[in-house]
A and B are shown apart, each in its own frame.
Chain A
Amino acid sequence: MTAPSASPVRVRVVLAEAARQRAVLGSARAELAEQTQVGDALVRGLVRAQLGLALRLSFVVAVGLGGLPLLFVVAPAVARATFLGVNLPWLLLGVAAYPFLLGVGFAYLRLAERNEQDFTELVQRPER
């Protein structure tokens, strides 16, 4: 290793260069595992996509459900309205809220899995 002779050094550098080239071309997976800058950027992108998705759907719930108490105060007529003899707030909170939550959860599941699939394809593409 410490031998200062010229020829072995040159050979070693060439080999190392070739190996690194293969790693870059080989897979982004290695970039991830080795925590390179490219790998880090890939993970940051995924985290940002997933967080953005979660926040967008939280916003839907915050408006759809969280807006109800305010709505009942601002527009008491809505609170007094009845549907099939039952007051609207009872129907909205007692029944409709649950399918709504389930629907948002289902949308999240689909979209989050798609994000992950995109990421997996991105990472594995060079291997094909």
Chain B
Amino acid sequence: MGASPFTAPAIVAVTLATVAIGVYGLRLARTTSDFLVASRSVSPAWNAAAIGGEYLSAASFLGVAGLILKHGVDVLWYPVGFAAGYLALLLFVAAPLRRSGAFTLPDFCEARLRSRRLRKLATAFVIFIGLLYLVPQLQGAGLTVSTVTGAPYELGALLVGAVVTANVALGGMRSITFVQAFQYWLKLTALAVPAVFLALQWQADGRPAVTPPEGMTFMRTTTVVAEHAATLTFPDRSTMEVRAGEALTFPAGTPVPKVSGVASTGGFDWLLPGDDSEDRGLFATYSLILATFLGTMGLPHVLVRFYTNPDGTAARRTTLVVLGLVGMFYLFPTLYGALGRIYTPQLLLTGRTDAVVLLLPGAALGGGLAGQLLAALVAAGAFAAFLSSSSGLLTSVAGVISTDVLSRGSVRDFRLGAMAAGTMALVLALNVSGLDVSRVVGLAFAVAASSFCPLLVLGIWWRGLTDVGAAAGILVGGGAAVAAVLVTVLGPPLSGWPGALVTQPAAWSVPLAFTVMIGVSLSTRARAPVDVGRTMLRLHAPDALRM
């Protein structure tokens, strides 16, 4: 794939703009509290764009389209769930959480249940979820750099991880609302504008079918370099052995072969819901729905942003605007995934489907000026995606490490925390390059949904919650989800029911967490905080009363 000459300058420009606005913001507001006071004057629209900018990560920008290209309609639940998470946040959490005055999840534990030990436990989970979410961002960064410049994956992830860590450690990205808001609109533009051109090109090409009955064919002459030795099977059942490193050229109109060892879904399986294993597929779908719907509220970088709303009512309105902005964004990855089957079928051969958004404009529109400019725009948007998300994540994880692990919360501790978290995420990212970006993010959602979702929902709506009950629920439900994640990422590949239960744990781990939390709280009723009535009043009383 020939790189567009505009891509590298576009990426450099996005990075420089981010760093520059960050440095400028640092001069305006030196401390976190300075920033928070300043942001009280930020309107819900700006605040919502900032939340959207931080939330739409590499997983949303690259991963969703890649999954759709590979698996079809069943994975549309990922974007729907990513957006619906904000509805759950709006319904159950947004306003009361803002009124609680908690800045992070550990803060909420202490404010509601008055327990230092529960605070420590919440800290551990925040760090785990933060890292699990950071890794795919760096992975996406490595993928972007290697796709558009040809450099090795490790170099890209390393370079980008170092830039973000240094930027956060120096304080440049520390909570700058306007950078994040700008990056939301950049990301939306970077997907929407090329999408218009892609749709026009598709019209001009005679509206080729996404799933032609005789199987997929290459639209243009395509060269694929094999990364591993593999067996290709063509629709006419002829086979062909390829060695690692061998370059294959497919002329336009040749059918796309199936590759041994690369999972992909073709034809009607791709187009229609459900897969070969009916009941397991249904279980996995519902598990995914539960994880994404309930996991958003437990993500550390999402919660921090709610504190920048002036009051509970504004927090609610902000959440609704975020839901609209995020939903608008997710209309586009579907289009990329579907058109990718027509214009970039070679990604199904190599398995690097996460690159579809980056390669599609160049592949569909050819090497002309328009194609090159749009390819550069998409690469810049991808860069904005992982810069904003990983900076936000790293900031919140480093903040928790500095206040709850290093215990003093000074600027020096914050920098140490940022370095530690950045290094850990990098080491992990270098070792899991084979995983789908969105799948790993889905696991982070599952852990958040089985630990912090019950804590927040029960803590806000039920007076009977006790510190022991909350800790037990987080340990059992969240612990089970963590174990499932570790088995999925590090363990041997599983198939059948054990595979479904472990790779999509939310359907059993979320109810488990709720049950344990309620059961243990009921049996330790005496430990419920005495001032729970006052806390409830503060969480739920309308802002106009200022209780």
Residues of A within 8 A of B (CB): 29, 32-33, 35, 39-40, 43, 46-47, 50-51, 54, 57-58, 61, 65-66, 69-70, 72-73, 76, 79-80, 87, 89-90, 93-95, 97-99, 101-102, 104-106, 108-109, 112-113, 116-117, 119-120, 123-124
Contacts and interface: CB of A to CB of B under 8 A. Distances in A.
Given A87-B272, A89-B272, A90-B76, A43 B541 contact: yes
Contacts of B542: 116-117, 119-120
B83 A98 contact: yes
Given A69-B286, A102-B327, A93 B271 contact: no
A112 B285 CA distance: 31
27 contacts: A29-B545, A32-B545, A43-B541, A47-B536, A51-B461, A66-B289, A70-B282, A73-B278, A79-B273, A80-B272, A89-B272, A90-B73, A90-B76, A90-B334, A93-B80, A94-B331, A95-B331, A101-B83, A101-B327, A105-B87, A105-B320, A108-B90, A109-B316, A112-B95, A119-B542, A120-B545, A123-B545
Contact of A102 (B73, B273, B324, B537): B324
Interface string B57-89: 000000000000000010011001001101110
Interface of B: 73, 76-77, 80, 83-84, 86-88, 90-92, 95, 271-274, 278, 282, 285-286, 289, 313, 316-317, 319-320, 323-324, 327-328, 330-331, 334, 338, 461, 533-534, 536-537, 540-542, 544-545, 547
A104 B90 CA distance: 10
B328 A50 contact: no
B323 A102 contact: yes
A105 B317 CA distance: 10
B87 A61 contact: yes
B284 to A, nearest CB: 10
Given A43-B536, A47-B536, A32 B272 contact: no
A61 B84 contact: yes
A26 B133 CA distance: 53
B87 A104 contact: yes
A6 B106 CA distance: 56
A61 B66 CA distance: 27
Nearest to B537: A43
A116 B99 CA distance: 14
Contacts of A33: 547
B547 A32 contact: yes
A113 B88 CA distance: 17
A109 B316 CA distance: 7
B534 A105 contact: no
Given A43-B536, A43-B541, A105-B90, A69 B282 contact: yes
Contacts of A94: 76, 331, 334
B95 A32 contact: no
A104 B330 CA distance: 18
A37 to B, nearest CB: 10
Given A43-B537, A101-B84, A112-B316, A72 B273 contact: yes
Contacts of A95: 331
**Shortest 7 CB-CB contacts between residues of A and residues of B:** A98-B327, A116-B542, A93-B76, A72-B273, A54-B91, A94-B334, A69-B285
B317 A109 contact: yes
A1 B83 CA distance: 65
A109 to B, nearest CB: 5
Nearest to A49: B540
Contact of A46 (B76, B90, B289, B540): B540
Q: Which of B88, B271, B328 has the most CB of A within 10 A?
A: B271
A63 B208 CA distance: 36
Contact of B77 (A43, A93, A113, A117): A93
Given A65-B80, A102-B320, 18 more contacts: A32-B541, A39-B537, A43-B540, A47-B540, A65-B289, A69-B289, A87-B271, A87-B272, A89-B273, A90-B76, A90-B338, A97-B80, A97-B83, A97-B84, A97-B327, A105-B90, A105-B320, A109-B320
Contact of B323 (A57, A87, A105): A105
A70 B542 CA distance: 39
Nearest to A35: B533
Contacts of A93: 73, 76-77, 80
Contacts of A70: 282
A85 B313 CA distance: 43
Contacts of B95: 112
Contacts of A106: 320
Contacts of A46: 540-541
Nearest to A48: B461
Contact of B274 (A72, A105, A124): A72
Contacts of B317: 109
Contact of A69 (B273, B313, B324, B536): B273
